Structure 1
């Protein structure tokens, strides 16, 4: 086998491992959302309190994302992926063994703190191993870890919760993360990078100083994650309570929607790479598609609100569309931030990106759970459309060749 073939095989194997590690972490982070019906029936929680429980892993991630970014900037991806996955697994096993809801909540929060490691480290791993003309595609593939993790959770966790309850269902993400830790420890190889001592002052400079570019990208991402968080958290509940579906059928549809969402991220990445090859404009190639996606998300959520208010079966198809559109921008923003920040700041910049997004994603479920209880699903969908619409002018269009 030639050296180029070995190099290509290594690049793609690192992508697969990074994708798998982030997928396992996302089953833990997002899986509690699929316990909301069980928390309601078994533990008597209303939607607002169950939504808060489901957001605890995301809130835990907010606390440590930038810290994990600093660690990965200093010590590399292999250490962070293996250690973070192992700690997430430990928190998952502890949550499954706990009896009281407060104790379960504490371990979910701690697990989220540990799971934050995979987001930053796997993103840096992919960006480090691939050239710019392929990064949109490969980061899109890597970003499918989120919808695929949500989909796996939707397919498996409700089925486990029916016979085994909350504790039995929580064992599933714990086992996945334990296996992920072992694979990362033995197989991950950090990408080649210039030594810090040999870097120029410009390469080491803080990319946030003197430019609003990264801040605008992150603000747009925060606005666009709101409809995404709503769709992820409450689709299963909406199908069961509003549309009358069984938990099994609803979980299957959510799994299909997440698979389609994964395809949407890959398609957006290919689109971005094609624009980059034609224009050489890195920021424009990543951000022009994001602006179009933001407008499409606003239109889709508004149409979903109207059709659900009219009790139309078209609303189910629009929910599927929303599951694709609302997640398609994430990979593009993630790629742009890593490229702009450079190898000595990308860990912290990606940590800041994830922190802002996940803080929004953590706050949204309990707030929207309360809004659903007071005003219903159609009004909540309409509010989410406004967030996506506001994001459209925030998306930057500066050139950076």
Structure 2
């Protein structure tokens, strides 16, 4: 960002890599909170007598809160700045989770978890804006890739820690663990984060609005592409374990190790595609490559599964899983860059909202396909999602036109 066109937003010394680290910790911490209810399902089902449907609904409560609040947090970040919104959201999440740890009644617990999700949503747009604001374009892909790795890291932490904490039969220790992580993140953000300077908003010579959604359809196309590309991601993460155990007759331990490896390699893949986008000077070209590769990986996974070649199917599953998450950082960075400094908060909120809504329909829809056609055929049909997304990806020429206009 040019220092000649930017206005100073604070007196503290900005440390971009420290702010990136704090942003990753904050996002990973809220991911732990949002993911924790899913790992409580066995306890809620066996100890509290909930049906699986009821426990699943409770597990979805934080995600509902996030969907309701993402765009609002983005707009607030555009207006009041990243640091304030990060700290406010993290404090709200901490308080809500602390209340959840002592509240009685399943309905009350669900409502408080919705509030926790509302607070957690603040990190999505605000931490993304910190990365875009403090890292130059030639390193932004790497930085955003690191930042986007926080989601699988948070899920992995919850998967490892939550079952052990609830082994005694109470959910409070797991919730308090999440509250401690988020509370510490709030303090770190208050101390480390410095709002990026922004160019002064100038009046367009032609009198037109600076709303990027009115400029052309580029942002809407990226949103739609991301919704389609989230389908294979959530299909593989949701049904991978049960496919290996029930469909390919693997042990639960072996299946769990493969799924965990896919998550960790996926986090590394996000960083790798970010570096690649920096090298080629484009987010959209690698995004197209990822979509095409996803089609091939899903079809190979389906084929080896249909042939009952378990090892080959497992290898292709890991590859397909890595590819299925690789687009996330690319699209997220592209949205922020096309939206510009005065609209990126709202645009990133809209981006995440679309992805969450898309993910919400995956489990019931793909589950029904599996019930009728089996796993291999369902995975092959899911390959239609990246196939439909590929022609919708805007041309990389749009990035050049944006840079020239800027």
Q: Output the TM-score relative to the length of structure 2.
A: 0.85
Compute the displacement of 1:26 (Å): 1.4
Matching of residues 341-380 of structure 1 within 5 Å: 341-369=339-367, 371-372=369-370, 376-380=374-378
Q: How has the CA–CA distance of structure 1 residues 226 and 74 changed in structure 2, closer, same or farther, with 3 Å as cutoff? A: same
Number of aligned residue pairs: give it: 384
Q: How does 1:45-60 map to 2 (within 5 A)?
A: 50-60=55-65
1:214 has 2:214 as partner = no
What SS class does the counterpart of residue 214 from structure 1 fall into?
helix
Q: Which residue of 2 aligns with 1:4?
A: none
Query: Is 1:399 the equivalent of 2:398?
Result: yes
Structure 1 residues 176 and 331: alpha-carbon distance in aligned structure 2, compared to 1, 3 A threshold: same
- Paired with 1:358 and 1:171, the residues of 2 have a C-alpha distance of 26
Q: Alpha-carbon deviation of 1:362?
A: 2.8
Compute the displacement of 1:43 (Å).
Answer: 5.1
Does 1:301 pair with 2:306? no
Unaligned runs of 5+ in 1: 1-6, 277-284
Q: Select the structure of larger CA radius of gyration.
A: 2
Q: Which residues in structure 2 correspond to 1:204-353 (within 5 Å)?
A: 205-238=210-243, 243-246=249-252, 252-276=257-281, 285-314=282-311, 315-353=313-351
> Structure 1 pair 286/63, CA: closer, same or farther in 2 (3 Å)?
same
Going from structure 1 to structure 2, the CA distance change for 1:223 and 1:39 (only over 3 Å counts) comes to: farther
**Residue 385 to residue 92, structure 1, CA distance change in 2 (3 Å):** farther
Per-residue deviation at 1:366? 4.3
Q: Is the 8 A contact 2:298 2:383 kept in 1?
A: yes
C-alpha displacement of 1:394: 1.2
SS at match of 2:212: coil
Question: d(CA) in 1 for partners of 2:307 and 2:44?
Answer: 30
Structure number with the higher helix fraction is 1
CA RMSD in angstroms, aligned pairs only: 2.7
The 1:35–1:311 alpha-carbon spacing in structure 2 relative to 1, beyond 3 Å, is: farther
Does structure 2 conserve the Cα–Cα contact (< 8 Å) formed by 1:226 and 1:361? yes
Runs of 4+ in 1 over 6 A off after TM superposition: none
Bigger Cα displacement from structure 2, 290-299 vs 214-223: 290-299
Change (3 A) 1:47 1:373: farther
**What residue number does 2:73 align with?**
68
Counterpart position of 1:19: 24
Q: Which moved more, 1:235-244 or 1:104-113?
A: 235-244
Asked if the contact 2:43/2:169 (under 8 Å) is kept, the reply is no
Match of 2:199 among 187, 194, 204: 194
Q: Give the counterpart of 1:156 among 152, 156, 161.
A: 161
SS of 1:328's partner is: helix
Q: 2-side partners of 1:79 and 1:8: how far apart?
A: 17
